[in-house]
Amino acid sequence: MTPLALALVAGACYGLAALLCKRALETGAGTFRSLAYSNWFITISYLPFPFLAEEGLTRSEITLGAMLGVLFCTSQTTCFLALRRGDASVATPIMGTKTLFVAVFGYLIFEKALPAQTWLAAVLAVVAVILLGWPAKGSKPSFASMGLAVVTAIGFGLTDALVPEFGKDGDVDPFNLLFMMVLTVGVLSFLFIPMTKGRFLGWRKEGDKWLLLGTIPLTAQTILFSIAIGFYDVPTEANVLYMSRGLWSIIFAVWIGRMIGASEGSAPKSVLLRRFLGATLLLAGIYLAPTG
């Protein structure tokens, strides 16, 4: 139950982080600037990981970690672009479709059989996020944001499928592997500096305040979930619980959205009803995941 509990808490942290980071983008923090700073914050938090490993870095850990880092950084970029173009309470649930991609990649690449209950949990989870993220009647959905959210789900899904498989290698320590992955993300983030509009350095008052508040739970969820899938071989089951971030993003949008002035602080009753139905299916998937 340890990795599943970690994944559930990570999902709640991500739901809060998405709303706060969205608010940061709305108040002028800058998309690529916010992405770079948040990635560096995450990289710094992983610096103790090599000291927790039993041995020093090996060539396999450096190579595999760097490959995962490129994939993770690409996915993180499409994630921020999706948040910039659409609501966090819509994009975040759609990103939850990565649960199915984890199962599919595990089956196609590693020929890893999964219990029927786990497949059912993944299917229920996908249906749930569709209901949670469906736009309100009369509103114009951001198909660009939805498309980017799906691409994000594919990228993170492949990352989550590869991490536990790479961790099985006798020459790979999960602490070193995760450290190299995040270090690569931090190095690649320097590429975002010339892509930033306006000055990169300096304090942007309102925008950076929300960025700082959003980066803290974003970093926490990264560490919690990486441990859940890096040290335990249950990537699909963990992802079903982690996908509760879609539900959390809606709860936080309704609960504190208006308090912080977020653009998605309210929603029509019909949308809330549909989202509650999606939440019910999501809870069913969460229940089935451990038994799968």
Residue 111 domain boundaries: 2-291
Cα–Cα distance measured from residue 273 to residue 111, given in angstroms and rounded to the nearest whole number: 39
- Which range has the top average pLDDT, 6-10, 86-90, 188-192? 188-192
pLDDT of residue 4: 87
Nearest to 154 by CA among 74, 241, 249: 74
DSSP string, 217-266: HHHHHHHHHHHHHHSSS-HHHHHHHHTTHHHHHHHHHHHHTTTTT-TTS-
Amino acid identity of 261?
A: G
| Predicted local distance difference test score (pLDDT) of residue 263 | 63
Segment among 40-44, 164-168, 271-275, 285-289 with least mean pLDDT:
285-289
Q: Please tell me the total count of domains within the chain.
A: 1
pLDDT score of 83: 87
Per-residue pLDDT reduced to its tens digit, 105-154 = 887 887 777 777 777 877 887 888 788 777 666 667 677 888 898 899 89
Per-residue confidence band for 38, with pLDDT thresholds at 50, 70 and 90: very high
**Chain segment 209-242, per-residue pLDDT in tens:** 999 999 999 999 989 988 887 777 777 778 778 8
Reported as type and span, the H/E element at residue 292 is none
Model pLDDT, residue 126: 81
Dihedral in degrees, nearest 10, Cα atoms 131, 136, 138, 139: -110
Q: Which amino acid is at 171?
A: D
Q: What is the pLDDT of residues 49-98, one digit of tens each?
A: 999 888 889 999 999 999 999 999 999 999 999 988 887 777 887 887 78
pLDDT of residue 264: 64
* Secondary structure percentages of the chain, helix, strand, coil, to 5: 75, 0, 25
- Tokens for 115, please give them: 């219990």
Residue 172 pLDDT: 86
Question: Quick check: 186 pLDDT over 80?
Answer: yes
